[in-house]
Amino acid sequence: MKRFFILAAILILFMLIVPTYLEACPGCKNLDDPINKGFNWSILFMMAMPFTVFGLVGGTVYLHYRRANRKPTDQETM
């Protein structure tokens, strides 16, 4: 375990020292170029979609359960 942490620390140190700078997105270097701009919009759009989908499905399930909990059961009303 100790050896693993030492190796991980050396690796992180190596990664921090060696490159002058890092860019996560290969298509976003120059946004004046239309194709890079296209990739950029596409990435932003697709990045937003999982949150939208989970938000909508989760929101629908949550609303159904909340509505069901609000409604008094037949036995309570009797």
Partner 1 sequence: MAQNNTGVHERPPLSNARLAVLVLLGAETMLFSGLIGAFLVFRVGNVTWPPPSHIGIELPRLVTGINTALLLLSGYTMFQAHRAIQGDRAKQLRRWLLITGVLGLLFLGIQGSEWVQLIGKGLTLQSGVYGGIFYVLIGCHALHVLTAVIWLLVVYGLAVAGRFSAEHYVGVDTCTIYWVFVVALWPILYVLVYLL
Give the footprint of partner 1 on this chain (CB under 8 A). Answer: 34-35, 37-39, 41-43, 45-46, 49-50, 52-54, 56-57, 60-61, 64-65, 67-69, 73, 75
As measured in angstroms, the least distance from the Cβ of 37 to partner 1 is: 5
As measured in angstroms, the least distance from the Cβ of 27 to partner 1 is: 9
Burial tier of 18 (Cβ tally within 10 Å: 0-12, 13-18, 19+): exposed
Query: Over the range 28-50, which residues count as b (16 or more CB within 10 Å of their CB) and which as e?
Result: eeeeeeeebeebeeeeeeeeeee
As measured in angstroms, the least distance from the Cβ of 30 to partner 1 is: 13
